[in-house]
Amino acid sequence: MSVEIRISHALKKYGDNVIIPDLSVNIKPGEFFTLLGPSGCGKTTLLRMIAGFNSIEGGDFFFGDKRINDLDPSKRNIGMVFQNYAIFPHYTVRKNVEFGLKNRRMPREEIKSRTDQFLKLMQIDTLADRMPDRLSGGQQQRVALARALCISPDVLLMDEPLSNLDAKLRVEMRTVIKNIQHDVGITCVYVTHDQEEAMAVSDRIAVMNAGVIQHIGNPKSIYQRPANVFVATFIGRTNMLEGELQVEGGKAFLCLSDYRTQMDTVAPEYMQSQKIQISVRPEELLLNRDANADGLKGTVQDAVFLGLNTHYFVKLDSGEDVEIIQESSIEETLGKGARISLTINTEKVNLFLADGTKNILTGVKNDLDA
């Protein structure tokens, strides 16, 4: 029983402070949708507007065809998982999970069987009679999930549910969350500022900055064809360089000092010579030990051998610093001061307008524009 969430022209203000100016998004039924963005960009605020804990200063919120702007939070049929778990400290695990069912005045046997079902699903059935203060963080989060899910909510909202857990448990729990969401098939809005986590669990990600969604897309398209410079720099590591696009005889060339290479994927509407910003990820730079080969010239500053990969830090002759990740080779690792040349993987590199607002290549999938 999954529903679609439609938000159109949402406005949020605290006093005169506009936090979210004008936000529209459609979240598909059964989708795992993640809000990702830097601290303070308004993720929690938006989530709490959906949940009904924040006032809505403007716009419309729909669950399916039902407008929920004025619906009491207790009537929205949402499951919510909080960063601090928000387990009721004076109830046992079982009572915590039952709480929502009791509010729905279910028959006693059904409450019992549903509770058992979800305790088992979350693998906490052996803890049913424990008090919460005797649970580990991961166990508490499982209780919170079981409690949120067992009421068969229309949507599941999670605000950084894993950020209080240690790194190993975080990885384990995100798999649990992803699998459960998939099994139950519930629409899920997930907030995090851990991009790896977002990549791992999401069907689609919305990257936010300062209350504005920059890019909505699946993890792959956001990583490989970011909509603008903010998204490119926020997601993953990247080197930002300044260069030029030169169009000659219907062909586009990327020019960086004296390095020039043909680009086949520039979108037709941007086919004109102009200054551009270039985002090239460390693995998209190819290192050539022959300093005289065609490419960007530079000097190795530092090299770090990490087993599978070797990281190089190179100062280009233009003065810019870049980072390169290379699969470790059997040859000697290059030392400080070694002269090298670099070429760019033109299939993967991203080019942006000089002001950084648009990716000028084809293949950008941003549902925001749809």
Partner 1 sequence: MEKNKKFELWTVMTIVFFLLFLLILVYPMFGILKQSLYDKEGALTLANFSKFFAKKYYTNTIINSFKVTIVVTLVSLLIGIPLSYFYSFYRLKGAKVIFVVSILCCMSAPFLGALSWIMLLGRNGIVTKFFLNVFKIRLGSIYGFKGILLVQALKYFPLVFIYMNGAFRNIDNTLIEASANMGCTGVRRFFKIILQLSMPTVLAASLMVFMQAFADFGTPMIIGEGYRTFPVEIYSQYLGENGRDYGFAAAISVIAILITALVFFLQQWATGKFRFSISALHPVEKKPAKGIGGFLMHLYAYLLIFIGFAPNLYIVYLSFVNSDGAVFKTGYSFNNYRLAAKKLLVRSINNTLTLGVGSLIIIIVFAVIVSYLVVRRSSPINHAIDTMAMLPYIMPGAVVGIALVMAFGSKPFALTGTMTIMILNLVVRRMPYTIRSASATLMQISPSIEEAAISLGASKLKTFARITVPMMSSGIVSGAILSWVAIVTELSGSIILYNNKTITLTMSTYVQINRGNYGTACAFAAILTVVTILSLLIYIKVSGSEDDIKL
Ligand X SMILES: Nc1ncnc2c1ncn2[C@@H]1O[C@H](COP(=O)(O)OP(=O)(O)OP(=O)(O)O)[C@@H](O)[C@H]1O
Contact residues for partner 1, defined by CB under 8 A = 51, 53, 56-58, 69-70, 73-80, 82-84, 86-90, 99-100, 103-104, 144, 147-148, 151, 157
CA distance 222 to 203: 12
Distances (CA, A) of 196 to 34, 142, 163, 220: 12, 21, 13, 12
Q: Which does 42 bind (CB under 5 to 8 A by kind): ligand X, Mg ion, partner 1, none?
A: ligand X
From ligand X, partner 1, Mg ion, none, interface partner of 87 (C-beta below 5 to 8 A by class): partner 1
Q: How many residues does the chain have?
A: 370
Q: Which does residue 73 bind out of partner 1, Mg ion, ligand X, none, counting CB within 5 to 8 angstroms by kind?
A: partner 1
CB-wise, 96 or 195, nearer to Mg ion? 195
Helices and strands (H and E) in the chain: how many: 8, 20
In angstroms, what is the minimal distance from the CB of 360 to ligand X?
A: 29
User: What is the rounded CA–CA span in Å between residue 166 and residue 203?
Assistant: 24
Both tokens of 221, joined, read 């398209």
Biggest CA-to-CA distance, the chain: 80
The site partner of 58 among Mg ion, partner 1, ligand X, none (C-beta below 5 to 8 Å per kind) is partner 1
Which residue's CB is nearer to partner 1, number 69 or number 218?
Answer: 69
Closer residue to Mg ion (CB): 19 or 216 = 19
The neighbour count for residue 316, using CB atoms within 10 Å, is 18
Residues near ligand X, by CB under 6 A:
14, 19, 37, 39-45, 193
Q: Which is nearer to partner 1, 11 or 338 (CB)?
A: 11
Of 80 and 314, the one with the shorter C-beta distance to partner 1 is 80
Quick one: CA dihedral 141, 143, 147, 150, positive or negative? positive
Q: Is residue 233 part of the contact set for Mg ion (CB under 5 A)?
A: no
Q: Which residues have a Cβ under 8 Å from the Cβ of 207 and sit 6 or more positions away?
A: 36, 37, 213, 214, 215, 216, 222, 230, 231, 234, 235
Q: What backbone torsions phi and psi does residue 97 show, to the nearest 5 degrees? A: -70, -35
Q: Toward partner 1, which CB reaches closer, 47 or 231? A: 47
Is 44 near Mg ion (CB under 5 A)? yes
Which positions lie near Mg ion, rule CB under 5 A? Answer: 44
